[in-house]
Amino acid sequence: MSESTEKKKETRPERPDRPGKPRAAGKPAGRRPGGAGRAAEGGKPRGGFGKPAGRRPEGNGAAESGKPRGGFGKPAGRRSEGNGAAEGGRPRGGFGKPAGRRPEGSGAAEGGRPRGGFGKPAGPGRRPGAGHPGGEGRRAPGGKPATQARPAEMEGLAARRAALKVLRQVTEEGAYASLSLDRELTAGGLKGVDRRLAARLVYDTLDRMIYLDHMLSQVMAREDTDLRLRNILRLGACQILIEDRIPESAATNTSVQLCTENGLEGLKGVCNGILRNLIRKKEELTLPDPETEPGRYFAVNHSVPEWLGERLRKDWGEEEAERIAAFRNTDGAITIRRNLLRGDEDSFRALLEKKVWGREPGELPGTWRITGAMDIARDADFLAGEFSIQSESSMMACLAVGVKRGMQVLDCCAAPGGKSCYLSELMGDTGRVQAWDLHEHRAALIAAQKKRLGLENIRPIQRDASKPREDLRETMDAVLLDAPCSGLGVMAEKPDIKLRVTEESIRELTELQAKLLDTVCAYVRPGGVLVYSTCSLLKDENEHQIRSFLEKHPEYTAESLPETIPEKFRKQENLGLQLMPHRDGVEGFYICRLRRRADF
State the chain's mean pLDDT as an integer. 81
More confident residue, 85 or 218: 218
pLDDT(67) > 60: no
* Domain 392-596: assigned CATH number: 3.40.50.150
Q: Count the neighbouring beta carbons within 10 Å of the beta carbon of residue 224.
A: 7
CA 162 to chain centre: 18
Angle, helices 192-207 vs 209-217, to 10°: value is: 70
Tens of pLDDT, residue by residue over 250-284, are 999 999 999 999 999 999 999 999 999 999 999 99
Omega cis (within 30) before 554: no
Residues in contact with 277: Cβ distance below 8 Å, sequence separation at least 6, in sequence order: 219
Q: How many residues does the chain have?
A: 600
- pLDDT 10s digits, 100-123: 333 333 333 333 333 333 333 343
- pLDDT tens digits, residue range 418-456? 999 999 999 999 999 999 999 999 999 999 999 999 999
When pLDDT is cut at 50, 70 and 90, the band that residue 348 belongs to is very high
Q: Are 376 and 48 in contact (CB under 8 A)?
A: no
Residue 374's pLDDT band, with cuts at 50, 70 and 90, is confident
List CB contacts of 596: < 8 A, sequence separation 6 or more.
Answer: 521, 524, 525, 526, 527, 528, 529, 530, 555, 556
Convert the pLDDT of each residue in 312-331 to its tens digit: 999 999 999 999 999 998 77
pLDDT the model gives residue 26: 38
Q: Which of 435, 382, 526 is nearest to 87 (CA)?
A: 382
For the packed helices 177-188 and 192-207, what is the interaxial angle rounded to 10 degrees?
A: 160
pLDDT for 119? 36
577: β partners: 591
Question: Would you say residue 573 has pLDDT above 50?
Answer: yes
Closest alpha carbon to 514 in 503, 525, 506: 506
- Angle 361-204-222 (CA atoms, 0-180°, nearest 5)? 165
Task: Give the pLDDT band (50/70/90) at residue 150.
Answer: low
DSSP, res 557: E
E-strand spans in 438-588?
Answer: 458-462, 476-482, 524-534, 556-559, 577-579
In this prediction, residue 224 has a pLDDT band, given cuts at 50, 70 and 90, of confident
Residue 485 has pLDDT above 70, yes or no: yes
pLDDT confidence of residue 293: 97
Contact 170, 187 (CB under 8 A): no
Residue 285 pLDDT > 60, yes or no?
yes
* pLDDT surpasses 90 at 52: no
As a whole number, mean pLDDT of residues 236-243 equals: 97
CB 140 within 8 A of CB 127: yes
Top CATH class of 104-112+152-316 equals mainly alpha
Q: What's the pTM value of the predicted model, to 2 decimals?
A: 0.76
Percent of the chain with pLDDT over 90: 68
Q: What is the 3-state secondary structure (H, E, C) of 472-505?
A: HCCCEEEEEEECCCCCHHHCCCCCHHHHHCCHHH
Give residue 443's identity as a one-letter amino acid code.
A
CA distance 19 to 16: 9
Per-residue pLDDT tens over the stretch 167-192 = 999 999 999 999 999 999 888 888 88
243: helix, strand or coil = coil
Q: Which residue has the higher pLDDT, 119 or 415?
A: 415
Provide the pLDDT for residue 173: 94
Q: What DSSP line would sit under 249-303, residue for residue?
A: HHHHHHHHHHHHHTT-GGGHHHHHHHHHHHHHHTTT--PPPTTT-HHHHHHHHHT
Q: What is the pLDDT of residues 4-50, one digit of tens each?
A: 444 444 444 444 444 444 433 333 344 444 444 333 333 434 433 33
Whole-number pLDDT of residue 108: 36
Query: How far are the Cα atoms of 99, 242, 328, 373, 539 from residue 491, in angstroms, in the given order?
Result: 8, 18, 9, 22, 16
**Contact 139/145 with Cβ under 8 angstroms?**
yes
Higher-scoring residue by pLDDT: 152, 464: 464
Residue spans per domain, the chain: 104-112+152-316, 392-596
pLDDT at 135 over 50: no
